[in-house]
């Protein structure tokens, strides 16, 4: 199938989507809506409408997503749209009807998380402990971190939105959460006005206690999940691409070292363009924003 694809925004994530899609389906006709003077660009909304894409990817700053979706809803019908996570910078009572929307929580396609989802099925899980921390200035080495959207609460920055992958996959794996305790704050010496630390304690409908810790200031990057239950213990490291678990007193160790950094994005695009499995729907994305709003209000 020759898909006409429009990518709105050409920052680091927008350019990444373009590279991946060019390799994924070489017969795709890709245009980029951007002010940058690059090949295959459309310069304004009128040119985007004339192009009439089949698949649209929204890769602008988070605080621009809402206006992007208003434009798409007004001017396109029966298109497939992927919005980079998070859906918006805060919950919006916006219910699009003209197109099919997904939110870019691509970690759902990480084989470690897919394996965990299988392992916990029908298991009595007691506790889940999640830690995701790294050093914000190292995220984009060629840019001053103080000038990125992550540093600005007005542009949709802060660990709750920036690291909302963790909140999404917890909700995906363990179901609706009841918030018990939160502490969301700016505590480090980073020169930003967004929160750089979040601690969340929650419980799901089955009584599983879930602890989530997110930060911008850990200089030794860590992205781990620890799960304990009646007949199972799981330890995963998403940075090291390792999964270890004990099931019925037997130890299993798996590694995914050969998985390249674009794998989850590739699988997400494939799913959108074919079977639609494991995707974060528009409604799922709204639920994550509702949950984040509850976390902020609870803190």
Could you give the percent of the chain with pLDDT greater than 70?
A: 98
Distances (CA, A) of 93 to 88, 205, 243: 11, 26, 39
Q: Are residues 47 and 134 in the same domain?
A: no
Q: Is 17 a domain residue?
A: yes
At 233, which helix (H) or strand (E)?
Answer: strand 232-237
C-alpha to C-alpha distance for 62 and 71, rounded to whole angstroms: 15
User: Across the chain, what does the average pLDDT equal?
Assistant: 95
Nearest to 110 by CA among 167, 165, 55, 58: 165
Q: Torsion angle, CA of 57/59/61/63, rounded to 10 degrees?
A: 20
Q: What is the pLDDT of residue 198?
A: 98
List the chain residues with pLDDT less than 70: 1-2, 26-27
Q: Are residues 100 and 151 in the same domain?
A: no
Q: Are residues 171 and 54 in the same domain?
A: no
CATH number at residue 206: 3.30.360.10
Q: How many domains does the chain have?
A: 2
Q: What is the pLDDT of residue 26?
A: 67
Q: Is 287 a domain residue?
A: no
- Classify residue 172 as exposed, middle or buried by CB count within 10 Å of its CB (0-12, 13-18, 19+): middle
C-alpha to C-alpha distance for 269 and 76, rounded to whole angstroms: 20
Q: Which domain holds residue 33?
A: 4-104
Q: Are residues 114 and 197 in the same domain?
A: yes
Q: Are residues 122 and 239 in the same domain?
A: yes
CATH number at residue 50: 3.40.50.720
Q: What is the pLDDT of residue 27?
A: 61
Q: Is 295 a domain residue?
A: no
Q: Is 99 a domain residue?
A: yes
At 17, which helix (H) or strand (E)?
Answer: helix 12-24
Q: Are residues 112 and 233 in the same domain?
A: yes
The pLDDT tens digits of the residues spanning 214-263 come to 999 999 999 999 999 999 999 999 999 999 999 989 999 999 999 999 99
Q: Are residues 88 and 143 in the same domain?
A: no
Q: Is 273 a domain residue?
A: no
Q: Is 249 a domain residue?
A: yes
Q: What is the pLDDT of residue 149?
A: 87
C-alpha to C-alpha distance for 286 and 265, rounded to whole angstroms: 21
């Amino acid at each position: 199938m020759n898909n006409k694809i429009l990518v709105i925004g050409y920052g680091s994530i927008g350019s990444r989507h373009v590279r991946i899609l060019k390799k994924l389906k070489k017969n795709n006709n890709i245009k980029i809506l951007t002010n940058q003077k690059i090949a295959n660009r459309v310069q304004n909304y009128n040119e985007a409408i004339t192009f009439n894409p089949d698949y649209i990817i929204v890769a602008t700053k988070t605080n621009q997503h809402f206006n992007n979706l208003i434009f798409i809803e007004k001017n396109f019908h029966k298109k497939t749209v992927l919005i980079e996570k998070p859906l918006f910078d805060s919950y919006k009572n916006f219910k699009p009807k003209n197109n099919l929307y997904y939110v870019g929580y691509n970690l759902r396609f990480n084989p470690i998380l897919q394996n965990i989802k299988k392992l916990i099925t029908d298991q009595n899980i007691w506790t889940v402990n999640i830690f995701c921390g790294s050093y914000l200035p190292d995220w984009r080495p060629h840019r001053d971190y103080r000038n990125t959207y992550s540093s600005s609460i007005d542009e949709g920055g802060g660990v709750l939105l920036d690291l909302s992958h963790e909140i999404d996959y917890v909700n995906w794996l363990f179901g609706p959460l009841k918030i018990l305790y939160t502490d969301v704050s700016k505590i480090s010496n980073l020169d930003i006005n967004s929160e750089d630390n979040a601690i969340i304690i929650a419980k799901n409908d089955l009584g599983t206690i879930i602890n989530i810790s997110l930060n911008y200031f850990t200089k030794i990057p860590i992205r781990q999940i620890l799960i304990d239950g009646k007949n199972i213990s799981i330890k995963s490291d998403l940075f090291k691409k390792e999964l270890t678990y004990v099931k019925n007193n037997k130890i299993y160790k798996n590694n995914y070292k050969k998985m390249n950094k674009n794998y989850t994005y590739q699988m997400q695009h494939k799913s959108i363009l074919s079977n639609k499995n494991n995707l974060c729907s528009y409604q799922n994305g709204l639920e994550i924003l509702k949950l984040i709003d509850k976390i902020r209000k609870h803190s």
